[in-house]
Amino acid sequence: MLKVKNTLTAKKEPFKPIEKGKIRMYVCGPTVYGPGHIGHARTYIAFDIIRRYLEYRKFRVKYVVNITDVHDDMIKTANELGISIFELGKKYSEEFFKEMKILKVKQADVYPRVTEEIDEIIKLIEKLVQKKLAYETDDGVYFKVEKFSDYGKLSGIKIEKGKTGTRIQTDKYEKNNVQDFVLWKKAKPNEPAWDSPWGKGRPGWHIECSAMNFHHLGEQIDIHCGAEDLSFPHHENEIAQSEGVTGKQFVKYWMHSGFLNVNEKKMSKSLGNFITIPELLKTTDPRVFRFFVSGLHYRSPVNFSAKQIKKSEKTLKKLDSFLKRLTEIKKTGSENKKVNVLIENAKKGFEKEMDDDFNLPNAWAYLFELERETNKMEQEKGLTKKDALNVLNFFKKINSFLDIFQFEFKEQKLSQEEMKLIKKRENLRKEKKWDEADNIRKLLAKKGILLDDTQKGTKWRKEA
Ligand SMILES: [Zn+2]
């Protein structure tokens, strides 16, 4: 029985989708005004594995990730760059898709964009106004938080009563209560704007997620995901807008991913520990990062450091060579029943842990145990090709959602000429002719041959 920790109830609950066998799942996506950071990468990988595990469990999952391409940050950055928000949004959404592909995050079924959902958003705000849950001011339309009695049920944050009637000026916007939040912003000069019943303007941030959920998944959905810091006010406001209109429960299970720190500190540009996804990909094999994320519980806070990544890299290399050895087994003969028992135990254990709120750290232990036991049997008795295939097939199945393992290993060979060059370079190094040695290294690097000078001599490998 699959169980999911629900932020709404703070309990682990049996998972029952609204419609049998079908899951409507929504993840708050990126604001496309610049490259994402590694905290985003962690969130999208964590929920990607969960989505694909649910598919492995034979659920039909409809997965929606929104693209925020209208936003204060978009306007500010576009102005700084002297381009339109449309150009900016195009550039960074394309980059986002490219990065997700590299990180093996499966495409969503729909990526709705604010610029393409304005009609849906306006329709929803109109309903909120009709229900007197929203009101118009000189500069926009606001949600009246006091009118929604369930406000705070997700985050536990209570609103202060008795503040109505006092007009409050906060930053730029005038509203009747500090807690009220903006649904529609009336246009200022030189801002991108759309026609609406309240004049030209653009939507506030929170309303898009309610409108896009309604449009692409329906008024009630099964799973809503996002990073922990979105639970208040963003998700609280989504609940208020959505349930305010329908009177029905909006989301059955709320799932939040934990914070990611870098070197034990919150990521910030001033601390110099802010890492964007493109920066990450320059220094880290995307497969290693995905492996690192897959070893964490999605709700756990994470510390990212070079040391952690090194550790992941080492473990993944070990797994790679384990799988490679299996592909090389040629021994004929029948299956060993003991191997099948090992696989069956690993599968059961792995699924049991995944069914317990997607407990990946515990689930991985079963894969490592299978690796250990298989190695032991191979050393003691030798496995047959059939045994090896059985183990490999199990790893392939698990890989349908982990998407980390490799199963094809190119044979790495160098030509005689290349081997000679490596030998020559070694001799030059002994003679301390560093420049000449380095020229050979550069020459080989151009051909994708990388050298590593170890105590036992120079090792080479070919770039994939
Ligand atoms: Zn959202």
DSSP string, 65-124: E-BB-SSHHHHHHHHHHTS-HHHHHHHHHHHHHHHHHHTTPPPPSB--BGGG-HHHHHHH
pLDDT band for position 334 (cuts 50, 70, 90): very high
205 alpha carbon to ligand 1 midpoint, in Å?
8
135 alpha carbon to ligand 1 midpoint, in Å?
22
148 alpha carbon to ligand 1 midpoint, in Å?
19
Q: Check: CB of residue 127 under 8 Å from CB of residue 141.
A: no
68 alpha carbon to ligand 1 midpoint, in Å?
9
Asked if the model's pLDDT at residue 169 lies above 60, the reply is no
Q: Over the stretch 429-441, which tens digit does the pLDDT of each residue have?
A: 999 999 999 999 9
Average pLDDT for 212-216: 98
Alpha-carbon distance values, 81 to 33, 34, 38, 232 (Å): 11, 11, 24, 31
The first and second tokens of residue 123, run together, are: 């329709």
Mean predicted lDDT score pLDDT of the chain: 93
Residue 452: per-residue pLDDT? 83
Asked if the model's pLDDT at residue 167 lies above 50, the reply is no
94 alpha carbon to ligand 1 midpoint, in Å?
20
Q: Over the stretch 273-287, which tens digit does the pLDDT of each residue have?
A: 999 999 999 999 999
Average pLDDT for 313-337: 95
Q: Check: CB of residue 440 under 8 Å from CB of residue 424.
A: yes
The first and second tokens of residue 396, run together, are: 């392939």
Residue 165: per-residue pLDDT? 43
Length in residues, the chain? 464
Asked if the model's pLDDT at residue 464 lies above 80, the reply is no
432 alpha carbon to ligand 1 midpoint, in Å?
60
69 alpha carbon to ligand 1 midpoint, in Å?
13
Asked if the model's pLDDT at residue 173 lies above 90, the reply is no
Q: Which residues are within 8 A (CB) of 335 and not within 5 positions of it... i.e. 6 or more apart?
A: 384, 386, 387, 390
Q: Which residues are within 8 A (CB) of 120 and not within 5 positions of it... i.e. 6 or more apart?
A: 211, 212, 214, 215
Q: Which residues are within 8 A (CB) of 156 and not within 5 positions of it... i.e. 6 or more apart?
A: none
- Identify residues whose C-beta is under 5 A from ligand 1, the ion: 28, 209
71 alpha carbon to ligand 1 midpoint, in Å?
13
206 alpha carbon to ligand 1 midpoint, in Å?
6
Q: Poorest-confidence range of 81-95, 97-111, 243-257, 264-278?
A: 264-278
pLDDT band for position 174 (cuts 50, 70, 90): low
Alpha-carbon distance values, 323 to 239, 241, 292, 313, 384 (Å): 46, 50, 18, 15, 14
**Which domains does the chain possess?**
11-266 (3.40.50.620), 313-402 (1.20.120), 416-462 (no CATH)
260 alpha carbon to ligand 1 midpoint, in Å?
19
411 alpha carbon to ligand 1 midpoint, in Å?
47
302 alpha carbon to ligand 1 midpoint, in Å?
22
213 alpha carbon to ligand 1 midpoint, in Å?
9
Average pLDDT for 193-212: 97
Strands 134-136 and 140-143, sheet pairing: antiparallel
What residue has token string 């989504």?
Answer: 238
As a whole-number percent, the residues of the chain with pLDDT over 70 amount to 96
387 alpha carbon to ligand 1 midpoint, in Å?
47
149 alpha carbon to ligand 1 midpoint, in Å?
21
